[in-house]
């Protein structure tokens, strides 16, 4: 299915229409951004790596009963997806304290949480994605209680699937961001699942294998993404 009109460009992806309005083409960019775009850099083949990594995760989730927008990869950096009406509520799934959670709660990074934490954020770059609770979601009519129940169920189930799978690859799933949308009356998991949207730590050394390497000027960003893809592709 070929590209039609250009629709939108985000920080990490470009979106194109197709001859069928039910489907879109996502093109993954090489641009890395942090701190609401204040820090920006092009990284060789980041888009290719994220496209391939996201496809592996989407296929894994689909096989385990999680409905996603993913259809298939069209090229090294292009993915065919179902067209979603995006629900502007980002779901952050946290297994281990890291990043903003450590700063907000004063808990040491690396602390394992006794229970998986779900956080909700408004999807709005201009407002810096502020935190929400269910009262906000319903008062602003962002999603219904039934939709939120389904979203949270899918998020927790996705966490278990990804966490267990990644441990077989010697990768710890620290936390990650999910986005959801509506497609023909069904809630689907959308956006991407990649080192851009997840925190991955090496299970042995604790080495960061995600965008924190870019955020924190640790270097070796592309190499870390390459290592993630290599491990995911390696047969057990």
pLDDT band per the 50, 70, 90 thresholds, residue 4: confident
Whether the pLDDT of residue 3 is over 80: the answer is no
For 90-136, the pLDDT digits (tens) are 999 999 999 999 999 999 999 999 999 999 999 998 899 999 999 99
**Residues 149-175: what's their mean pLDDT?**
98
Q: How high is the pLDDT of residue 236? A: 67
For 186-214, the pLDDT digits (tens) are 999 999 999 999 999 999 999 999 999 99
d(CA 89, CA 203): 30
- Say if residues 195 and 173 touch (Cβ distance below 8 Å): no
Nearest Cα to Cα of residue 2 among 62, 75, 90, 69:
75
d(CA 23, CA 81): 6
Q: How high is the pLDDT of residue 38? A: 75
End-to-end CA distance of the chain: 33
Range of lowest pLDDT (144-153, 163-172, 227-236): 227-236
For 39-72, the pLDDT digits (tens) are 889 999 999 999 999 999 999 999 999 999 999 9
- Domain architecture of the chain: domains with CATH: 6-82 (3.30.200.20), 86-220 (3.30.470.20)
For 170-181, the pLDDT digits (tens) are 999 999 999 999
Q: How high is the pLDDT of residue 36? A: 72
Q: How high is the pLDDT of residue 192? A: 97
Beta strands at 112-122 and 131-132: parallel, antiparallel or unpaired: antiparallel
């Amino acid at each position: 299915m070929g590209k039609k009109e250009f629709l939108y460009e985000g920080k990490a992806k470009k979106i194109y229409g197709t001859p069928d309005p039910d489907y879109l083409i996502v093109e993954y960019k090489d641009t890395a951004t942090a701190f609401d775009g204040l820090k920006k850099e092009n990284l060789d083949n980041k888009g290719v790596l994220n496209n391939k990594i996201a496809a592996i995760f989407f296929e894994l989730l689909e096989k385990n009963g999680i409905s996603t927008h993913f259809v298939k990869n069209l090229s090294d950096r292009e993915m065919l997806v179902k067209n979603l009406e995006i629900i502007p509520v980002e779901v952050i799934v946290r297994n281990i304290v890291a990043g903003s959670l450590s700063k907000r709660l004063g808990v040491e990074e690396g602390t394992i949480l006794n229970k998986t934490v779900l956080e909700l954020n408004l999807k709005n770059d201009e407002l810096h994605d502020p935190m929400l609770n269910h009262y906000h979601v319903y008062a602003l009519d962002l999603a219904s209680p039934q939709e939120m129940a389904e979203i949270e169920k899918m998020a927790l189930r996705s966490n278990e699937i990804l966490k267990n799978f990644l441990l077989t690859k010697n990768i710890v799933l620290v936390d990650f961001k999910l986005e959801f949308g509506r497609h023909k009356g069904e809630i689907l998991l959308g956006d991407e699942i990649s080192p851009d949207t997840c925190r991955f730590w090496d299970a042995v050394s604790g080495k960061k294998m995600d965008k924190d390497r870019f955020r924190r000027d640790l270097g070796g960003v592309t190499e870390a993404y390459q290592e993630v893809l290599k491990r995911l592709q390696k047969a057990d």
